[in-house]
Chain A
Amino acid sequence: MKTNQKKAWFFLAPTIIFVTLFSIYPILRAFGMSFQSGSLIDLRWTGFSNYQYIFKDPEFWLAIKNTVLYAIISVPVGLAISIMLAWIIFDKVKHKSFFETTFFMPYVTSTIAIGIVFRYIFNGDYGMLNFVLRCLHLHAPDWIDDPAMSLTTIIIFGIWSSLAFNIVILMGALRNIDPNFYTIADMFGASGRDKFWRITMPELVPTITFLLTMNVIGAFKIYTSVYALFNGQAGVGNSGTTAVFYIYNKFQIVGTPGVAMAATVVLFLIILFATFLQRKMMKKIGEY
């Protein structure tokens, strides 16, 4: 039966109009603008000059370095902690939904508001964190005002924020594992450790792949949490600048949209490459 119900286009019309105007057009426009120079009202084609500019700009490299470091530290650490916590809740705790509700709270709350609270907790003089560290006779660094600490502070805040989504998704995946696997393993006298590494982890591989992808994409887009932690700045002396910060700065403050869009295209390619790379990696692990 070959029917062509043209009325479908009527129902799809609002979606198609908005998507064309605010998703497809801006992608093409961003790509085009990356080859143009001048201010927004006076753009001229200048070929690859914007790309040449950013690749020579030390600030761009610092932004990329910070963003990549943030991604490769905060994502695996956050995910490892999430797996550990999800497994403990799933395996050992009675009031599972209570803990799930608790750990999910950061996901629904505003990053700006919580960033302000973290700035207060991280305060070098009267912050709660350094008070605890001093009580334990540990080194109490100046988390906010020391440029060398900026990235560390951002990473800690990033890990804290990432647990929520990871734990809830992992709990969903753990619930979907066939309980018979564990029953059979018990009959053969498998230890808790065996069960975790031979049943749970292999069953979680697809979910972990999914979470890695989501987390890496999220990590490369980091902006709001830095803004909140350092009160609108990218850390002292721009020490904690990130790719999106660089783009925002070049677009809105410096007024060179072409440079901003060239950086956007590069960031987008990095995200694509990172996603591709880790999909391949996880496939290998899955086969193994």
Chain B
Amino acid sequence: MKRIRIGVLFSYIILFIFAIITVFPFIYMILGGLMSFQETTSIPPTLIPHHFEWSNYAKVFARAPFGRYFFNTVLTASVTTIVSLFNSLLGAFAMVNLRFKGKGLIQLVLLSLLMVPGEAIIFTNYNTIAHMGLLNTYVGLVLPFLTSIFYMYYLQSYFGSISDTIYKAAMIDGASDWDYIWKILVPMSKGGLFTVGLLSFISGWNSFLWPLLVTNEDTMRLLNNGLSAFASDAGSETQLQLAAATLTVLPILILYLIFRKQIIKGVVRNDLKG
């Protein structure tokens, strides 16, 4: 009996240690962003700032156009999310409800493309965008991401669980495909669409390599690129780097804490994320 209790206690200790290791960087980031420069570099390290230096944030906004970065990021992440969701929705509908020649081939090609790592094609896509003269434009930032095989595949599994007889009944009642999509399919799979939208928005918010390639003007940078450039420029001013990092992370963290159930369920369900 006593041995079991020690085992349980031991498990709890391990769990708490790892929970602290996971959460600590976030807490330290927020606190560090409110410290003075002396506090961030003191030995032993400061954990809780003596006085909250809110002026760090004013300095961050004064040094780099973070407002512009926010605008760019929200704009590109939203456009990518809405358009790719719309395209995936139409594609998934066709793959689930319609019968046509070549469906098997399309499915096979799309599934094999899921296996190709994005990093393998991102550089040649840069080439395409450069040829189109779209470097340093919003169109260039979003264009390759306006459709997502992954989300289409995800929605297919969602739509597949809606009985085909509903589609047939709607057709008999004289509804068009368009009516069916907007009046039946979308309302019935609201949860799935919302989750896909959230995941897509988060990955758009955190995108880094693509915007790094296709933009070099400060006004076109996204938040993460702005942040990494700022971190190099701010050099040793750790407190400002941490304040800027907090600005980048906090909006998504809040979004996550509000919708944590949907997000986790969505990730577990898709089982495929690449």
Contacts and interface: CB of A to CB of B under 8 A. Distances in A.
Interface of A: 3-9, 11-12, 14-16, 18-19, 21-27, 29-30, 33, 40, 81, 84-85, 88-89, 91-93, 97, 99-114, 116-118, 120-121, 125-128, 131, 160, 163-165, 168-169, 171-172, 192, 210, 214, 217, 220-221, 223-224, 227-228, 231-232, 244, 247-248, 251-252, 257, 260-261, 264, 267-268, 271
Contact of A172 (B99, B268, B274): B268
B256 to A, nearest CB: 5
Interface in B44-100: 44-45, 87-88, 90-91, 93-95, 98-100
A125 B43 contact: yes
B15 A271 contact: no
A231 B227 CA distance: 11
Nearest to A33: B124
Question: Interface size class for chain B?
Answer: 35 or more
A218 to B, nearest CB: 8
Contacts of A7: 98, 177
A117 B119 contact: no
15 contacts: A25-B124, A30-B124, A33-B124, A103-B22, A109-B206, A112-B208, A114-B25, A114-B249, A116-B228, A121-B28, A127-B45, A128-B28, A192-B4, A227-B228, A228-B228
Given A24-B113, A81-B18, A104-B264, A214 B273 contact: yes
Interface of chain A, main secondary structure: helix
Q: Which 10 residue pairs across A and B have the least CB separation, nearest first?
A: A26-B124, A172-B268, A11-B94, A26-B121, A18-B147, A113-B245, A22-B144, A8-B98, A15-B91, A8-B100
B121 A23 contact: yes
Given A113-B29, A113-B249, A107 B45 contact: no
Nearest to B226: A112
Given A120-B40, A160-B21, A8 B94 contact: yes
Given A192-B7, A214-B273, A85 B18 contact: yes
Contacts of A210: 271
Nearest to B205: A110
B99 A99 contact: no
A257 B123 contact: yes
B267 interface: yes
A117 B124 contact: no
Contacts of B110: 19
